[in-house]
Structure 1
């Protein structure tokens, strides 16, 4: 049995790598795809540079309580249109850390790769590292897949 569990999701978009990259570094784009279906993103304050920390807040729909949930993304590596690496932490609205959900590490390392195709399409792979159990990993993967569904709508509409 592994010590930790990782999430890996791959999606191919009918969009060039530059457009897929923009979805990760443009606050208005992030507001359109971050969070599961039905969630909105009222806050996307980005400091998109190595060592920078962005604050992203999502709001649950009323039927799920309507609460706001915040994350920071602290960037480790930025290689335009090819690789993005950051640590995600759960925070309050001011960016102060709060407890992570059960099974979720305090800093969820994310590695995102962008592979352009010859046909103008881009393959995106998101890897999240370090979940303590399969349930936490599976919940995160389900949320990520919904985010990528929304990103597909953004990039291919």
Structure 2
């Protein structure tokens, strides 16, 4: 179980900022986000796997992935697939990278009915540990509320717990 807590705050009613300190070097934490073999081991909430994870980690490159619920105890979610697509913007390894995150289909077509997110991840060196700052900007307060109502906070908390566990297994 993870021993770090996540701090969250909302700025300007449409920007969600999440922060957490990971007990691992910055270069390693950054690598977890750009290497599909690592992402497959921790991305998504508990009970979900990443059977598809294609990454072209460069500005303008695409990350296309599928999260699938494999936990029978999650009832109606069991067997459900959730596809996502990210398009990378600025990358300054290992300090930060940006991407626009979309809900998508299996072919990578963007789902325009669900909110897209402008995400900036910042990796701050802290004496061998890494402070991860995730800034997620939405087009409106309503768009942010939509993803919050979908259970995004529980999902990201479990995802970052799984990241901490994976970091502990590889360092």
Task: Normalising by structure 1, report the TM-score.
Answer: 0.88
Which of 42, 51, 56 in structure 2 is aligned with 1:47? 56
Which of 135, 140, 152 in structure 1 is aligned with 2:152? 140
Would you say 1:8 and 2:17 are equivalent positions? yes
Which of 101, 112, 129 in structure 2 is aligned with 1:88? 101
Tell me the secondary structure at the aligned position of residue 9 of structure 1.
Answer: strand
Q: In structure 1, what is the Cα distance between the partners aligned to 2:78 and 2:87?
A: 28
Shift of 1:68: 1.3
Tell me the secondary structure at the aligned position of residue 46 of structure 2.
Answer: coil
Shift of 1:69: 1.1
Shift of 1:137: 3.1
Q: Kindly report the root-mean-square deviation, in angstroms, between the aligned alpha carbons of the 2 structures.
A: 1.8
Q: How many residues were matched structurally?
A: 151
Tell me the secondary structure at the aligned position of residue 39 of structure 2.
Answer: helix
Moved over 6 A (4+): none
CA spacing shift, 1:37–1:100, aligned 2, 3 Å: farther
Q: In structure 2, what is the Cα distance between the partners aligned to 1:142 and 1:129?
A: 18
Q: Which has the higher contact order (CA 8 A, sep 6+)?
A: 1
Task: Normalising by structure 2, report the TM-score.
Answer: 0.81
Q: In structure 2, what is the Cα distance between the partners aligned to 1:41 and 1:8?
A: 25
Would you say 1:32 and 2:41 are equivalent positions? yes
Q: In structure 2, what is the Cα distance between the partners aligned to 1:48 and 1:100?
A: 26
Shift of 1:114: 0.3
Cα deviations by residue, 1:56-104 (Å, 9 ceiling, x for unpaired):
1100234323121111110011100101100001111110112444xxx
Which of 77, 82, 91 in structure 1 is aligned with 2:90? 77
5+ long unaligned stretches in structure 1: none
5+ long unaligned stretches in structure 2: 1-10
